[in-house]
Amino acid sequence: MSDSLNRLHPLSAVTYALQHGFVWLWIPVTLLLVLAGVFDPIRAGWIPFVAPVGFLAGVAYGVVYYYRFGYAVTPDTVDVSSGVVARRSREIPYRRIQNVDIKQGVIQRVLGLAVVSIETAGGGDSEATLNFVGEAEATRLQREIRRRTADSRERRRSRDEQTAESEATTDASELADTGPSGDSSSTPVRTPDSESSSPSAGPEPSEAGEPGEPSDTGTDEFSEQRRQPLFALQPRELLLYSFTSVRAAAVAGVMFVFFLATDSIFGYLLTVAEPVGGPADLGSGTVGSYGVLTLVSLLNGIGVTYVLSVAYTFGTYYDFQLGRVGDDFVYERGLLQRYSGSIPSEKVQSVTITDNPLQRLIGYAGLWVETAGYGPDSNGGSQSAVPLARRERVHTFTENLTGVETPTFQRPPPLARRRYLARYSLLAGLIVLVAFGITQVTIFDRWYLAAVVFLAVPPAAHLRYVHLGYYVGDDHIVIRRGFWKRQTTVIPYYRIQTVSTRRSVFQRRLGLASLVIDTASSRTMTRSAPRIYDIELADARETHQTSRERLQTALRERAAADDPGVSVDFT
């Protein structure tokens, strides 16, 4: 741990003071209310006197926390020290660092502040967060840590190459010493690799920088002038992406506003629904008027959610730019809240092409990468590389990025479609049953109208079936699934962690199985791993065995070739 630690920006002291002050304010207030309910001499009217005590205590704690927080960038690690009562000191080696993310909200951008998050591979959250530092300091930290992380990877790669060359030279020398007749030879055997490592060929790779010593490349190597642009989201593509995407955050936002202003929202809905046959108030109305109110409420909810989703997507991906620095992808995006981060190519586990029905209709798609570590926006290691572009362009990006061959998809057997037909029929029956139950406790009596959902069963089963497919290639396995959000995931064999065959009760009766392909991506820890659905049991076992064999072959070939995994020149 470094002895000389840097402090955060002075405004961080104000932030921590106010944050802890408002939190601690409630401690004596809550305690007072509890005691007032037990002991008569204690009065709830004392709150104006005890609340400031808690606030001042929290302010003092926040200020002390600021002075006890420090960070430093050393030759080997990033050191972070924090804590008031329980001290925590962290030394983060550069080999574990995956990303240095910079985030700026509206107020932070006005004040020239930024939040720096240091993320490590395999973590579910940021390893360290500097909240706040100056904007110039944030940029300096990001570039310096990226440079040292790249130097660490290069030194490790050089050591691995030296070890491989040494082993190859030793094997060749032993073979030459014994000779075909078993006699020793005084002339050493020179291989092409050993020529490059001879004294006359120049200094050893380790001389470029020993562990613990900074490289001579300087920070200019990772400056903006050296960043190679790969993709920029054009205004037209940004608008298309905003209008053809639906964000779960928008649904959560609408629900939050509804709970905060329930009475006002109901008043608005009654006012809008009354001219078209809705009730004048919630207490008086007919079945038809309540049906009109329900329909108007549903349409208004969908409309408001869609507008919020468009605004959220536009603000999040405004001025999206993707580039490369060394072996890392770097990105920037955001209108009100600005993000800047990186995606190490060696951490990429799989690549996924996504599209929805609207995007497929206009011939567009997006490209996401899953990494072995924490990802921004709680995406579990999933980061957009190309939010939206022409489908042909995205496919070209994917082929250049992964080297995947053009897949020829195989579909599950037709028996799977009948299985989906039966499954959705049961779901439709459940909906009718729920409608019948509602009529027993409400004024509604036409429960049989809910049977209209059975009309959607055949097309739903067909659409699910036709959008399933898989391809077992020489170097990759490709899985396609989903209709509303179709995902085509390309997984290199060397990234596979486990392959498992799963069969439900109904699949066993039909002779079907699903094959789950798991990688080290943090996304698969919170969401379902890519899987091949409902293929015949014999095909599942054959694919399972083929994947295991090609996994071992890919690992050996990659170790021999020192393949970094994906190409950063994917355009």
For the segment 3-18, what is each residue's pLDDT rounded down to a tens digit?
678 999 999 999 999 9
Q: What confidence category does residue 167 fall into, taking pLDDT thresholds of 50, 70 and 90?
A: low
Q: Are 12 and 111 in contact (CB under 8 A)?
A: no
Tell whether 351 and 440 lie within a shared domain. Answer: no
199 pLDDT exceeds 60? no
Q: Are 20 and 12 in contact (CB under 8 A)?
A: no
Q: Is the dihedral of CA 286, 291, 292, 296 positive or negative?
A: positive
304 pLDDT exceeds 70? yes
Helix axis angle for 248-260 and 262-273, nearest 10°, is: 100
Q: pLDDT tens digits, residue range 528-568?
A: 688 999 999 999 999 999 888 888 887 777 666 655 556 66
Best CA proximity match to 570, nearest among 401, 404, 351, 349: 401
Residue 270 identity (one-letter amino acid)? L
Residue 260 vs residue 52, higher pLDDT: 52
pTM beyond 0.75: the answer is yes
Tell whether 400 and 522 lie within a shared domain. Answer: yes
Lowest mean pLDDT across 89-98, 173-182, 521-530: 173-182
Q: What is the mean pLDDT of residues 507-529?
A: 77
Question: Has residue 513 been placed in a domain?
Answer: yes
Residue 123 vs residue 105, higher pLDDT: 105
- The pLDDT value recorded for residue 37 is 77
Question: Has residue 78 been placed in a domain?
Answer: no
Lowest mean pLDDT across 35-44, 274-283, 335-344: 35-44
391 pLDDT exceeds 90? yes
∠ CA(440), CA(446), CA(447), 5° rounding? 60
Rg from Cα positions in the chain? 30
251 pLDDT exceeds 80? yes
336's tokens: 């009100």
Residue 485 vs residue 190, higher pLDDT: 485
Tell whether 245 and 372 lie within a shared domain. Answer: no
Tell whether 269 and 418 lie within a shared domain. Answer: no
**CB under 8 Å, gap of 24 or more: what pairs does 484-488 form?**
484/356, 484/357, 485/354, 485/355, 485/356, 486/354, 486/355, 486/356, 486/360, 487/352, 487/353, 487/354, 487/530, 488/352, 488/353, 488/354
Q: Are 353 and 367 in contact (CB under 8 A)?
A: yes
Q: What confidence category does residue 261 fall into, taking pLDDT thresholds of 50, 70 and 90?
A: confident
264 pLDDT exceeds 80? yes
Q: How many structural domains does the chain have?
A: 3
- The pLDDT value recorded for residue 121 is 67
Tell whether 369 and 473 lie within a shared domain. Answer: yes
Tell whether 472 and 450 lie within a shared domain. Answer: no
Lowest mean pLDDT across 170-179, 282-291, 405-414, 541-550: 170-179
- What is the extent of the structural domain holding 529? 321-412+468-561
Tell whether 306 and 408 lie within a shared domain. Answer: no
Question: Has residue 128 been placed in a domain?
Answer: no
Question: Has residue 105 been placed in a domain?
Answer: no
Question: Has residue 331 been placed in a domain?
Answer: yes
d(Cα 241, Cα 359) in Å, to the nearest integer?
8
Lowest mean pLDDT across 14-18, 111-115, 184-188, 292-296: 184-188
Q: What confidence category does residue 381 fall into, taking pLDDT thresholds of 50, 70 and 90?
A: low
Tell whether 253 and 385 lie within a shared domain. Answer: no
Tell whether 435 and 367 lie within a shared domain. Answer: no
- The pLDDT value recorded for residue 207 is 36
- The pLDDT value recorded for residue 204 is 38
- The pLDDT value recorded for residue 123 is 54
d(Cα 431, Cα 437) in Å, to the nearest integer?
10
Chain-wide mean pLDDT for the chain?
82
Tell whether 252 and 400 lie within a shared domain. Answer: no
Question: Has residue 483 been placed in a domain?
Answer: yes
- The pLDDT value recorded for residue 370 is 87
Q: What is the mean pLDDT of residues 352-357?
A: 94
Task: Quickly list DSSP for 360-374.
Answer: HHHTEEEEEEEESB-
- The pLDDT value recorded for residue 211 is 38
